[in-house]
Amino acid sequence: MNQKNHKQKPDPNDNRKRNITGFVTLIVWALILVIAMNALFARTETAGSQEIMFSELVDLIEAGQVEELELNSNRYVATLTGEGQQAWLETYYAELGEPVPEGIEAPQLYATPLNYPDFLLLLEEHGVDYYSPYQEESALTAFLVSYVLPMLLMVGAMFLFFRFVLGGKMGGGIGSVGKSNAKVYVEKSTGVTFRDVAGQDEAKESLEEIIDFLHNPGKYTAIGAKLPKGALLVGSPGTGKTLLAKAVAGEANVPFFSISGSDFVEMFVGVGASRVRDLFKEASKMAPCIIFIDEIDTIGKSRDAGRLGGNDEREQTLNQLLAELDGFDPTKGVIVLGATNRPEVLDKALLRPGRFDRRITVDRPNLAGRLATLQVHTRRIHLAEDVDLNKIAQATAGCVGADLANLVNEAALRAVRMGRKAVNQNDLLVSFEVVIAGTEKKGTVLTEKEKRLIAYHEVGHALVAARQKGTEPVSKITIVPHTQGALGYTMQLPEEEKFLMDREELCSELRTLLGGRSAEEVVFQTATTGASNDIERATELARKMITMYGMSDRFGIMGLATVQSQYLEQGYGLTCAQATAADVDTEIHALMERCHREAVAILEENRELLDKIAAYLLRKETITGQEMMAIIEGRDPEEAGHHGAASPAHGGPLPSLRTSSDGIEKPARKISMISEPPATPQPPEESPEEDASSDEDASPDVEIIDNI
């Protein structure tokens, strides 16, 4: 029985009957219009003529007032003489009781022909010229030209109007404007299964029960359980909500209706509600099936109680959607999946149990999820022997599935540009950096003063981070300008994935962000515009510490702000009085000033190291975190930066992330590790995440300080 339900198809006779009915409707309307037009044309032809009785025509002929007579099959048209016209006008206006107007001419007179055997003899007797115009076309031709051809043209015009102007289909007539625009994927034509979705194990577990219900409804109904009517997929853009919905349809092997929320909304009021009705009507015919509504917040926004009137198109569409979710039979196996990244704006009636019974969060993947996602996206990519996806996954903290797919694709494109047939580790790292900071601006010319300012600014960030506990290790420092506006940046990669941060760690991040401005003040006793983004980010972090994290001695654990648009820009709004907001600004200023003074103190204590690292950076333009740590510990930065390998002949940076965690360059799989030179001992602060080169990249959550 279940198998029959899965293979159930819509009855083609229904569509055929609907098309025939619509086509007949078009013909009837066209015929009515053609008849009306012919009647109008016939009336136009007789305009300016006067119909008389046949007996009156005979009297005019006998009186000698007719000069010429046109004999047609349906009427006789008489042309009067001058005396006849004057006599007819006098008789006509005498009957009206009015004088004959000056300069008026008699109208053309015509009469309907009757059976008069001696009519032609009468015309010859009174000298009336008569003739019958030549008609080349037959009666059938006249009928075709007068009725059939205009009707066909009318049908074609109406067809084009309904199809292209109102968006209808053949035979749909005016009602087709309310037809659903959902794309239908039957059986496994979605081409996506759970094998193509990685990093969302929790979401897949929640959806697997729905799939099992579609396959085996008997074991659930036997205990009295009901099939959930809908599930709402919530998450940030690019996390794979649409991909998950297609995977559910592919796994369940049932028809899949896919439509966007904006497809319901049109300029005509009531069209959206009509399309909702049509969508659920078509889905019920193909049950069991899945309806997927992407960006459901377009039509599901909360209804405004203060709005006057009830004819709003969006509100009518939402009301119809609510009615359909309540109305369809849950035993038929129609499941509605919705996707949105703005759940806070959805109407409460839409989210209640019985409509969308489940809310499934599709979150950003963790480390294991990113690794699995990279493995999925590199499944069809030719990878070199040195590729280590674990390090790429660790460096891309905070990336979503779409970011990782773009990263892999950019790496493949770079490999082709470089003339290689396989993607290596360096391609992945460089493409990562291009996505975050853009490509290098090789044509930018900086003065020596600007270079020194930029170098000290970036080293200030890095040195403050290195001299604190609990900060992420510095991976790369560069003063090479990039296309996204940065004249240089400092990159930090996490040693491990963190989900919580304490107050001291946040204060350390504040000191690191303010380290660039502090270096400018310590070395040059000035301030530049390069710290604008640092100050903006530091102010935002300090505001969150005071208003949302409860890390203020003055306000304690009092919440002063709430998050808005959690899955989009993650903005927040204050929920306190204006006087309290002013006190919040005072507290933020005090916190930032304290962290700024502490950053200045760190740099003053390490002024000699600041000068050494800045001089080395000015010479190399791009250095790794290992080279900076070597200078701090008094070792040769050339050897530390490349883990004992010889520096390149051109003096440029090496992709140090190709090395393994023990400091030895990662060999090919068929070469024994014993043949490699011994590793250079590394300080405890270093980690595999610190093995970064000038070609290394970072993710949206990787700490990049780049506004000098």
Sign of CA dihedral 24, 30, 31, 36: positive
What the block records as the tokens of 304 is 């405004």
Indicate which residues carry an active-site annotation.
458
> Which residue has 């300029």 as its token pair?
267
Residue 664 contacts residue 682 (beta carbons within 8 Å): no
DSSP category for residue 164: I
> Which residue has 């005019």 as its token pair?
60
Amino acid identity, residue 95? E
d(CA 359, CA 344): 13
In terms of Cβ atoms closer than 10 Å to its own Cβ (0-12, 13-18, 19+), residue 429 is buried
What the block records as the tokens of 400 is 């979503």
Strand partners, 77: 70, 110
Cα dist from 562 to 170, 553, 627, whole Å:
52, 20, 43
DSSP category for residue 568: T
Omega prior to 288 cis, within 30 of 0: yes
d(CA 386, CA 334): 49
Question: What SS3 state is found at 304?
Answer: coil
Strand partners, 110: 51, 77
Could you give phi then psi for residue 233, rounded to 5 degrees?
-95, 120
What the block records as the tokens of 74 is 């349906």
d(CA 217, CA 332): 10
Q: Which residues contact 703 (CB under 8 A, 6 or more apart)?
A: 472, 491, 492, 509, 512
* Closest CA relative to residue 489, chosen from 449, 521, 460: 460
Residue 140 contacts residue 79 (beta carbons within 8 Å): no
Task: 111-114: list long-range contacts, CB under 8 Å, 24+ apart.
Answer: 111/51, 111/52, 111/53, 111/54, 111/56, 111/57, 111/75, 111/76, 111/78, 112/51, 112/54, 112/74, 112/75, 112/76, 113/54, 113/71, 113/72, 113/73, 113/74, 113/75, 113/76, 114/54
In terms of Cβ atoms closer than 10 Å to its own Cβ (0-12, 13-18, 19+), residue 291 is buried
